[in-house]
Structure 1
Amino acid sequence: MPRPQRRTRTASRTAIAARLAAACLGIGTLATLAACGGSGSSGASLPFLPVVPPPSTPGTSSALACDESLKTAFKPDANTTVTVVKQFKQGDDLNLDGKASGTVAASDVCMVKLNVGPGHAGPADAPSTSPGIGIEVWLPAAAKWNNRLRVLGGGGFVGDAGISSRTQIGGAGAAAIAAGQGSVSAVTDAGHASKLPVPAVDGSFAMNPDGTVNTTLWTDFASRGIHEMAVKAKALASGFYQRDAQYAYWDGCSTGGRQGHMQAQVNPGDFDGILAGNSAINWTTFITSELYPQIVMQRDLGGTPLAAEQLALVSSAAVSACDSTLTGQHEGFISDPAACKYDPVQDKAVLCIGSGGTNATAACLSTVQAQAVNKIWYGQTRDGSAPAPASDIGYGATLAPGQLWYGLTRGTSLNSPGAPGFSLADSTAGTPHPFPIAAHQVALNLQDPTIATPDFVNATGNGANNWKGLSYAQLANASDRGKALQSAFAGINADNPDLARFRDRGAKLLTYHGLADQLIASSGTANYYERVAKTMGGIEATQKFYRYLEIPAMGHCVGVGSVNGLAGVSPAANPPLPAPDQLFSALTDWVEKGIAPDNLVLQNADKSLARPLCTYPKKVAYTGGDVKAAASFACR
C-alpha cells in the first residue's frame, strides 16, 4: 500500500472514506477487489480441475437457462426471488445500464441477482429498512466450469447497494473469477444496502428508528446473509450444470475473514475450504478499540491530532530500531514485532529540543506526544495507561492485565487516511477525523446515535461527533457493552473456539494476517487461534484442519503496511508478500490433494528477496548464508 501524501484542508471526509474503502475494505472495482482480498489476496493461477461435461439424464428436469425463464424456474424457497438475469458473452462490457464500465467478460458468463427475504419492515427511507438479502451469483459456461464454487467475502459493514441494484453490477471480482477461472462465484450485501457513497463504513442499518438494536439485520449481517449466499449459489450451480459442485470455497479478508470464521463456527457444512485473511473477529472489541487512538489524542493532547510528519517520523524510527533483529542487517521492515520494544520517549533523535531531545524539525514529538504514541501502540486500557515498552509492548496472543485490546504494531503506517484515529484530511487545522466504522460501532454499543460521526442516520438523532467527549472509562464501558450485547448483535464477534463440527466433516480453514495491518491488530488472530487450540486438543491437533500464517510487514489484506525506515539507515520497505492467489492455491491443494501448506515461500515485488512463510506459532529464523535467499532461513 503506497503511503499517502498529506491531505489538504479542502479534502472531504467522503473522499477519505472512499479512498479507505477502495484501499482497505475490499469493495469497488475489480482491481481493488483483486488487491484487497475480497476476491482472494493470495497467488498464481489456479490449478483447475478437469472439466467434466454434464451427465446425460433423460427424463429429468432440464437445466436452468440464463434468461427470463429463470425467474419462475428457480424457486428454492418462498423467501427467494430472482430479480435480474443477464447473459454476457466473451468480450461484452460488464454493465447493466448501457454505460461502459471498462471491464469486459473474459468468457461467456451468466449473472443472476437474488433477493432473499423476509428482510426488515419499517419507514421507506430508514437505513434499518431492508427488503432482504441481496446476492449476486456469476456462473461460467457449462464447458468452462471447473466444478468449484468460490464465493467472496465483504468489507466493513458491507451494504453494497450495487449487489441488489437492478441497474448496477456489484461483484466485478466474482465476475472475473467466473469468467476467467471457471468457478461459480458470488457476493452478498449481507442484508442491507447503504445510501452512503461508501456503504462499507455505514452502521446505520443496525439501529432501529426508536434507537433499539436491529437484531434482524444484525443476524443477516453476522451470519444469515453469507449462509444464504452459499446455499443459493450451490443450488443455482446444480440447476445450471445438472450436477453439484465438487468443492465449495470461501475467500475473504477483513470482514470477509470474520465471515469465513463465522461460517466455520455456525454453518460448518457450507464450505470444504475457507481462506480467511486479516479477520475482523472479536468485532465489537477491536472496532471499539479503533476509536482509542482518537480518545488518547482528545484526553492527552487536548484534541489536537498528531501531524502526519510526526507519525511518519516516529514510525520510521521504530522500523530502523527493529529491522535488523533477524539478520543483523537493516532490511527496511520488521520481521518480528514481538522483538521490537522501541520507545520514542527515550529517543532523543525524535524528541523536540524542549523535551530534552535533539530534533529541531516540525516533525519532532514532545514527551507527552511520544507517550501518547506508546499508548496507541500498546492498545486500549481502561484508564489510558501503558507500561514502559521495555517491560511490555502489549503484543502477543494473551492480553496483559488491564489491556482491553491490542494496538497496531510498531512501524505500521499510522497516517493512512481513514486508519483508526489518524484520518488527517484537515491536518493543517488539526481537525480529528476518526475511523467512521469505529465511531458507528461505539454508538451502536451504547445505543446512542449522537456518539457517531454525522453520516450515521437515525430517526432518534443522527451522529453528532459526541465521541469526542468520551473518557477512557466510558470507552471501556462501550467495549463491555459490545460484549454484553452479543445476543442482540447475533454473535457478531465470531469468536467461538469450538470448531469440532467443521473439523469432523474434514473441512480446512487457512487464515493469515499481515503483521503491519493498519486497521486490525494481528494479535487478535493469534489470541483466537490459541483459544481454538486449547479447545480442540492443542496446536498439533488443530493444525490438521486449521492453520494460521503471519506475514511480516504486510498491511490490511494486501500490500506493504509498514513505513520506510529512516533515510540513510534502512532501505525502502520491500518485504516478501503473497502472490495473487498463492494462498488460495495452497488451500485448494490442502483440500483436494491433502498437501498441507507447510513449505510456502514468499517473494518481494522485484523478486530480489525470498522468505519461507511460517505456520504459527513458528517464526522465521536466520540460519546463515545469503540473507536474500529463502534457503538461509528456517521456521522454528
Structure 2
Amino acid sequence: MEFPHPRPIPTRATSALATLICLLTLGGCGGSDDPPAPTSGTPASLGCDDSLKTEFKPDADTTVLLVKAFQKGDPLLLTGAATDATPVAGSDLCMVKLSVGPGNAGPADAPSTTSGIGMEIWLPAKTRWNKRIHVLGSGGWGGGVETSTTQLATLINASGSPAEIAASEGSVSASSDTGHTDRLHGGSFAMSPDGSINSAGWRDFSLRTVHELAVKTKALATAYYGSAPSHAYFDGGSMGGRQAMQAAQSYPADYDGIMVAFPAMNWTRFITAEMYPQIVYQRDLVDNGIPIPTIAQLDFVSNTAISSCDMVGGQHMGYLIDPSQCRYDPTRDATVLCPGVDGNGGVRGTSSSANCVNLAQASALNKIWYGMTADGSVPDPAIDNGWDTALSSSRRWYGTSRGTSLYDAWIRSLSPTTNVNASPGGPFTIASDVLALNLQDPTMAESNFVNATGNGAARWKRLSYAELSHAFERGISLQAAFSNIDANNPDLSAFKARGGKMIHYHGLDDEAIPPQGSVDYYNRVTSKMGGLSATQSFYKFYLVPGMGHGFNGYHNGSANPNAIPAFPKREELFAALQDWVENGVSPDSLMARASSPAKSMPLCAYPKKITFVNGDPFHASSYTCS
C-alpha cells in the first residue's frame, strides 16, 4: 500500500511495509517538498556526535539517547544491512533521539508503564537550515520507536518523514511516540494495571506531546545552530490533526502556522460513535437472523447512491461534489431491493443483482448514513439525510456520507483483515478500545486490548442502543481525566492574538472521520470568535470532494473505484500556509487537480461551496465558490 505523495525519501525500492504501517495508524505521515532555502548559519558549539548527549540538557526530565550523523546517500539504518527497500538520506543530516520524562512507573510488562515521551529530531546541515521548524503529528493511538537505539522512526513514517522534510526543505523536523512505544495493543496504554484511568498516559498522549515537541525541537535547533528558529509549524492529520487543534487551543504560543488535516478531534465522541454501525448490525440484523451486508452489497447500494446524486452539467462525476444534498433512500429503491421485497412507500424489489438487499439491510444503511442515535431511530432521508439536524440528546453523532466507502476499500485492498466503521468483519479496533476506556471495562474491546484485570473479549456485541449512548456520555464526562482528549474548544482567541494562522481541510468521502465534525467545529469557532470575517482572518477551512482518509495519502474515498476526484497538492497547501504566516498572503485561491485524466476543481473556503455554473464539469473554470 502506498500513499500518493510529493518527493519521497530517496529509496532503492518502495517500502510497502512502511506505508502500510503508516496507513493503519490513520495518518501520521506528512511532509512537503518545498525547495531548501540554504542559510549561512552561525557555527555553534554543539556537534553531531556523542558530546551532544551531555551538552544538550534543556531540563532535568530530558535525556539524549542517541546522536548519529548521516551523509547524503547513506542508508537510513541504525543496525543491520541495507536492502533495496531501505530509504537513504537526501542530504547531510543529524539525527537526535530524546526521551522526555517523567513517564509512568509500573510493572515492566504493563502497556501503561513508560519512561516518557520519545522524540526523533532531524537537523539539516548548518549551512542549509532555513530557520524553520516543521514537526509532524502522529496517527491512531501513536506509539513508535522514537526511543529505540536500533530502529529509526523514519522507516515507519516513510512518506514525508522528518528525515525527508529535513533533507528536502532544510527545515528541522521531528516526530514523537506520543508517550508510549506499544503499537500492537492500541489504547491499552491508557488503562492502569488495576483497570483505572492512566492519567499520566492520557496527559502525555493528549497534551504534553504536542507542547514538548515544540519546546524541545526549538531548544535543540537553537543550541545546534547557534540561533533561534524564525518560524515554527505543526503539520498533522487524523490523530495528528487532533494534536494540531490541541496546539492551537492549549499552547497557542508554540506554533506560528498549523496545518490540520481531517482531525480526530471530538475524540471520544466520534470514535465511540464509530461503534454504532456494528451495534446496528447486531441489534437489527443478527438478533433477527438476518445476515450482515457483505462488502459487495455495501458497494452495490453505495454506488447506486452515487449514481443517483452525482450528475453535474449533465454528466456523472462518479463521486459526490456535495453529499449534503444527497437524499438517496435504498428502502424506496426497487433496483437495489431483492425481488419481491416490500420496501417503503409501496415499492417492491426488482433487482436482478446477486448483491441486492432486503428491507432490514437497506434500513440499516440509512441508520449508518444518518449517524448515531440514542435509540437506533432514523428519520426519512427526504426529511433529514444526516446533514440537516444539529446534534442533540437523541442524535449523538454524524454518520458516513452517502457514497463514501462504508468499509474503507482503500485500506482493505492492502490489508484485507482491517475493519473500519461499517466493515462486515467487525469494528475498527480504535473504536472498541475507546469504548472499553469510556466504560473502564477492557473486556468490551477486541482481543488486541490487554490489561491485568482482563483482556478484550468483544463484549461490545451485547450492547443495546441505550448502553452505547451511555458509553458516549461517559466519554464526555471523563474529559478532565482524559486530559481533554476531544480538543474541541472553539476559543482560539489566544492563537489569533499571537498572530497564528491555520489551514484546516477534510475530505467529504472520509471513511474514518465524518467531515460534519469539522463543519460543526468551524461553525462553533465562527460563533465564538466574532463571526466569519474575524475567523477567516487567521483560520480557513476547506472541504474536499471525493477525498478519503489518509495523511498525505490523497485517495479516492468513495465506493466507486473508478472515480478520479481532483485533490489539492499537499505541498501547495503547506506553501500557502507559509506564505500566509511569513508574508501575510491569505490563501484565497486554492486548487484541486488530477493528472490522468486531467481534471481540476476549485477549493472553496467554508461556508462557501463549489457551485457549477456551466461548461465542462471536470474543469475548475466551470465552477464558482458561492
TM above 0.5: yes
- The correspondence of residues 186-225 of structure 1 with structure 2, limited to 5 A, is 186-194=174-182, 196=184, 202-225=186-209
Deviation of the 1:236 alpha carbon: 0.8
Contact 1:354 1:366 survives alignment (8 Å): no
Pair 1:79–1:53, CA change in 2 (3 A): same
- Cα distance between partner residues in 2 of 1:306 and 1:367: 12
Change (3 A) 1:628 1:37: farther
Shift of 1:96: 0.6
Contact 2:292 2:361 in 1 (8 A): no
Partners of 1:605 and 1:360 in 2: CA distance: 37
Match of 1:621 in 2: 611
Aligned residue among 269, 278, 281 for 1:294: 278
Per-residue deviation, 1:152: 0.3
Render the CA deviation track for 1:102-154: whole Å, top value 9, x for unaligned.
10001000110000000000000000100110011000001111111100001
Which residue does 1:345 correspond to in 2?
Answer: 331
Shift of 1:75: 0.3
1:293-327 CA-partner distances (Å, limit 9, x unpaired): 11100001116431011011011011101111x43
Deviation at 1:24, TM superposition (A): 5.1
Deviation at 1:594, TM superposition (A): 1.1
Q: Any idea what SS the aligned residue of 2:315 has?
A: coil
SS of the counterpart of 1:203?
helix
* Aligned residue number for residue 433 of structure 2: 440
Query: CA 1:88–1:460 in structure 2 vs 1: closer, same or farther (change >3 Å)?
Result: same
Q: Would you say 1:167 and 2:157 are equivalent positions?
A: no
Structure 2 gap segments, 5+ residues each: 4-16, 342-347
Cα distance, 1:313–1:474 mapped onto 2, change above 3 Å: same
Q: Does 1:608 align with 2:594?
A: no
Q: How does 1:273-292 map to 2 (within 5 A)?
A: 273-292=257-276
Q: Is the 8 A contact 1:418 1:434 kept in 2?
A: no
Match of 1:69 in 2: 51
Change (3 A) 1:21 1:416: farther
- Relative to the length of structure 1, the TM-score reads 0.89
Contact 1:110 / 1:140 at 8 angstroms: preserved in 2?
yes
Q: Secondary structure at the match of 2:80?
A: coil
| Cα 1:587–1:182 shift into 2, 3 Å | same
Q: Secondary structure at the match of 1:559?
A: coil
* Residue 106 of structure 1 pairs with residue 61 of structure 2: no
Contact 1:112/1:138 (8 A) holds in 2: yes
Correspondence for 1:327 among 278, 299, 313: 313
- The size of the alignment, in residue pairs, is 589
Secondary structure of the corresponding residue to residue 391 of structure 1: coil
- Of residues 75, 79, 87, the one that matches 2:61 is 79
Q: Distance in 2 between matches of 1:385 and 1:242?
A: 62
Paired letter, 1:341: R
Distance 1:300 1:19 in 2: 37
How far does the alpha carbon of each residue in 1:582-619 deviate from its partner, in whole angstroms, 9 at most, with x for none?
21111111111111111111111425211110000000
Cα distance between partner residues in 2 of 1:473 and 1:316: 32
Q: Deviations over 1:328-382 (max 9, x none)?
A: 3211110001111111111111111131311233311101100000000000000
Of residues 368-377 and 395-404 in structure 1, the stretch that sits farther from structure 2 once superposed is 395-404
Contact 1:312 1:415 (C-alpha < 8 Å) held by counterparts: no
Kindly indicate whether the alpha-carbon contact (under 8 Å) linking 2:601 and 2:623 is maintained by their aligned counterparts in 1: yes
Partner of 2:579: 589
8 Å CA contact 2:500–2:581 kept in 1: the answer is yes
Shift of 1:401: 6.5
Pick the aligned partner of 2:300 from 301, 313, 337. 313
Hey, what does 2:169 align to over in structure 1?
181
Question: Kindly tell me: are residues 424 and 434 of structure 1, through their superposed partners in 2, closer, same or farther at Cα, counting changes over 3 Å?
Answer: farther
Residue 477 of structure 1 is matched in structure 2 by: 470
Which residue number in structure 2 is paired with residue 520 of structure 1?
A: 513
Q: Which residue of 1 aligns with 2:545?
A: 552
Contact (CA 8 Å) 1:211, 1:447: kept in 2 or not? yes
Q: 1:479 to 1:21 in 2, by over 3 A?
A: farther
Give the match's secondary structure for 1:104.
coil
Alpha-carbon distance in structure 2 between the residues aligned to 1:433 and 1:485: 26
Q: What amino acid is the match of 1:93? A: P
- What secondary structure does 2:258 align onto? strand
> Aligned residue for 1:466?
459
Equivalent in the alignment of 1:54: 41
Question: What does residue 79 of structure 2 align with?
Answer: 97
Mapped to 2, the partners of 1:328 and 1:400 lie a distance apart of 38
Does residue 25 in structure 1 map to residue 12 in structure 2?
Answer: no
Q: Deviations over 1:48-67 (max 9, x none)?
A: 5x4331247xxxxx421111
Matching of residues 503-542 of structure 1 within 5 Å: 503-542=496-535
* Residue identity in the other structure for 2:109: D
The 8 Å contact of residues 611 and 624 in structure 2, kept in 1 or not, is answered as yes
- Sort the Cα spacing of 1:167 and 1:175 in 2 relative to 1 into closer, same or farther, 3 A: same
AA of the residue aligned to 2:319: F
Cα distance in 2, alignment partners of residues 396 and 244 from structure 1: 49
SS, match of residue 316 in structure 2? coil
- CA-based RMSD of the aligned residues comes to 2.2
Task: Measure the CA separation in 2 of the matches of 1:99 and 1:495.
Answer: 46
Distance change (3 Å), C-alpha of 1:610 and 1:417: closer
Do the aligned residues in 1 keep the contact of 2:540 with 2:605 (CA within 8 Å)? yes
Q: Does the CA-based 8 Å contact 1:500-1:536 persist in structure 2?
A: yes
Q: How high is the sequence identity, in percent, across the aligned residues?
A: 50
SS at match of 1:548: strand
Equivalent pair of 2:28/2:138 in contact (CA under 8 Å): no
Q: 1:285 to 1:418 in 2, by over 3 A?
A: farther
Matches within 5 A, 1:140-155: 140-155=124-139
For 2:216, which of 232, 236, 249 is the aligned residue?
232
Distance 1:139 1:383 in 2: 53
Deviation, 1:432, is 3.4
Residue type of the alignment partner of 1:361? S
Query: C-alpha displacement at 1:183, in angstroms?
Result: 0.8
TM-superposed deviation, 1:400? 5.9
Change (3 A) 1:37 1:618: farther
Distance 1:399 1:186 in 2: 37
User: Is the 2:293–2:424 Cα contact (8 Å) retained in structure 1?
Assistant: no
Does the 8 Å contact 1:601/1:612 carry over to 2? Answer: yes
Which secondary structure does the structure 2 equivalent of 1:112 belong to? strand
Q: Paired residue for 2:391, among 399, 404, 408?
A: 399
Q: CA deviation at 1:446?
A: 0.3
CA 1:431–1:319 in structure 2 vs 1: closer, same or farther (change >3 Å)?
A: closer
- Partner of residue 378, structure 1: 370
Partner of 1:563: 559
Q: CA deviation at 1:39?
A: 1.2
Q: CA–CA distance in 1 between the matches of 2:70 and 2:278?
A: 47
In the alignment, is the contact (CA less than 8 A) between 1:397 and 1:530 conserved in 2? no
Q: CA deviation at 1:629?
A: 2.3
The residue that corresponds to 2:7 in the other structure is none
